[in-house]
Amino acid sequence: MLQIEKHKILAPYTTLRIGPAADFFAVIREKADLLAAISWAKKNRQPIFVLGGGSNILLAHRLKGLVLKNELKGLELRRLSKKTALITSQAGETWSKFVNFAVEHKLYGVENLFLIPGTAGAAPIQNIGAYGVELKDIFYSLEAVNLKTGAIKIFRGPDCQFAYRDSVFKKRLKGKYFICSVTLKLKRQPTFKLTYGAILAELAKQGTTKPTLETIVKAIQSIRNSKLPNPANLPNAGSFFKNPELSRRAFKSLRRKYPEIPHFPGDRNRVKISAGWLIEQAGWKGRPLGPVRMYEKQALVLVNAGQATARQVLELVKRVKAAVYRKFGVSLQEEVNIF
């Protein structure tokens, strides 16, 4: 049965441990709860805000209306063919549990995305990606409920308008749907993508000559743990900025001045450059501003050393962006969703 609480502090529900109180708050554990919440919000003329794992978000202002915490659970292997399989996760499951489910069933394609914090339902909103793989590469469909009408809609790949860390759910349909489940299309035969980042080096370090799903997941876990702080120990929201994408002409101009700049292929024949490297070169890696700083092991991650406010986070973000622009003429764009 749906239970609605008043004046619920949201900080514990975000990995940055920052957040105001919600006017109204409810946990959604089944679709009946969701439909009841939509009905209540309509009757009481309250807007709805959906909260997943709280890992890619900064709640900087008071959230008016009803906040719904997505706790829909369940994993399912839906269909098998000789070459592919479909697996479905309810949106409230953690993303890593979803990846582990695929690994346990010997399904290939999602392993590079292991250990990305957050829930399965948030993955398509952000079009999450790592080590040369993005969600759009393995996405099949999602089921969502319209927050105004309660109607169910199935979204296929083109419907989601995926782009680099972007989708229609961050633009035209922002705040309009509650994602209930996500389905991936994976392969039953190995098609590993190992040339991005330090995966090959980590596999060699571990003495692995013939990679398997398990050894790749172990390597990625080792890499991420070595440079990314655990939110349970040091609050953070993951990568705070996107890696900038430049035209080839702009990149060549910048590379003449900084030949060592890390880069890799971007979308539409553009070149992606490392935001973490830009931040480090601009002097903000590990440099504190009160209780917040860009993490000393990975400058792309903004961490909260304790009792930080949203205002302090935004001030650091402002200064980092200004410093990078002054030095490189490159504008950083937030990957974290700010509300």
pLDDT tens-digit profile of 164-192?
999 999 999 999 999 999 999 999 999 89
Q: Are 317 and 334 in contact (CB under 8 A)?
A: yes
pLDDT in tens, 236-275: 998 999 999 999 999 999 999 999 999 988 877 899 999 9
Beta 177-187 vs 139-146: how paired, if at all? antiparallel
- CATH 3.30.43.10 for domain 5-70, yes or no, is yes
Average pLDDT over residues 193-220: 87
DSSP letter (8 states) at residue 24: E
Average pLDDT over residues 115-121: 93
> What confidence score (pLDDT) does residue 88 get?
98
Listed in sequence order, the residues at least 6 apart from 166 whose beta carbon sits closer than 8 Å to its beta carbon are: 126, 127
Q: State the sign of the Cα–Cα–Cα–Cα dihedral 22, 23, 24, 28.
A: negative
Q: Is the pLDDT assigned to residue 149 strictly greater than 90?
A: yes
d(CA 303, CA 134): 25
Each residue of 123-144: b (16+ CB within 10 Å) or e? bbbbbbbbbebbbbbbbbbbbb
Q: Are 16 and 73 in contact (CB under 8 A)?
A: no
> What confidence score (pLDDT) does residue 5 get?
96
Query: Could you tell me the residue ranges of all domains in the chain?
Result: 5-70, 75-187, 236-338
Place 222 in a pLDDT band, splitting at 50, 70 and 90. very high
Select from 14, 253, 10 the least CA-distant residue to 117.
14
Whether 253 is catalytic is no
Q: What pTM, to 2 d.p., does this model score? A: 0.89
> What confidence score (pLDDT) does residue 201 get?
87
- Detail the DSSP E strand segments found in the chain: 5-9, 21-28, 48-51, 57-58, 63-70, 75-80, 84-90, 129-130, 133-134, 139-146, 152-156, 177-187, 236-239, 245-246, 263-265, 271-273, 288-289, 292-294, 301-304, 337-338
Whether 134 is catalytic is no
> What confidence score (pLDDT) does residue 125 get?
95
> What confidence score (pLDDT) does residue 174 get?
94
Measured in degrees and rounded to the nearest 5, phi and psi for residue 247 equal: -65, 155
Catalytic residue, chosen from 17, 165, 224, 293, is 165
> What confidence score (pLDDT) does residue 277 get?
97
d(CA 54, CA 18): 10
pLDDT in tens, 277-330: 999 999 999 999 999 999 999 999 999 998 999 999 999 999 999 999 999 999
Select from 41, 44, 49, 40 the least CA-distant residue to 69.
49
> What confidence score (pLDDT) does residue 197 get?
72
Q: Is the pLDDT assigned to residue 204 strictly greater than 90?
A: no
> What confidence score (pLDDT) does residue 147 get?
97
Q: Is the pLDDT assigned to residue 227 strictly greater than 80?
A: yes
Give the amino acid at 113: L
**Both tokens of residue 83?**
């070459």
> What confidence score (pLDDT) does residue 163 get?
93
Burial zone of 287 (CB within 10 Å; 0-12 exposed, 13-18 middle, 19+ buried)? middle
Average pLDDT over residues 212-235: 91
From residue 167, alpha-carbon distances to 17, 228, 334 in Å are 26, 25, 15
pLDDT in tens, 50-100: 999 999 899 998 889 999 999 999 999 988 888 999 999 999 999 999 999
Helices (H), the chain: 31-43, 95-104, 123-126, 157-160, 199-205, 213-227, 248-257, 275-281, 310-328
> What confidence score (pLDDT) does residue 266 get?
81
**Both tokens of residue 195?**
């040339």
Q: Are 131 and 112 in contact (CB under 8 A)?
A: yes
Catalytic residue, chosen from 141, 202, 239, 280, is 239
Residues in the chain: 339
177 forms beta bridges with 146
Given 3.30.465.10, 1.10.150.120, 3.40.50.150, 2.40.30.10, which CATH number is that of 75-187?
A: 3.30.465.10
Listed in sequence order, the residues at least 6 apart from 19 whose beta carbon sits closer than 8 Å to its beta carbon are: 9, 10, 11, 12, 13, 54, 59
d(CA 187, CA 82): 9
**Both tokens of residue 238?**
């993951």
Whether 165 is catalytic is yes
- CATH 3.90.78.10 for domain 236-338, yes or no, is yes
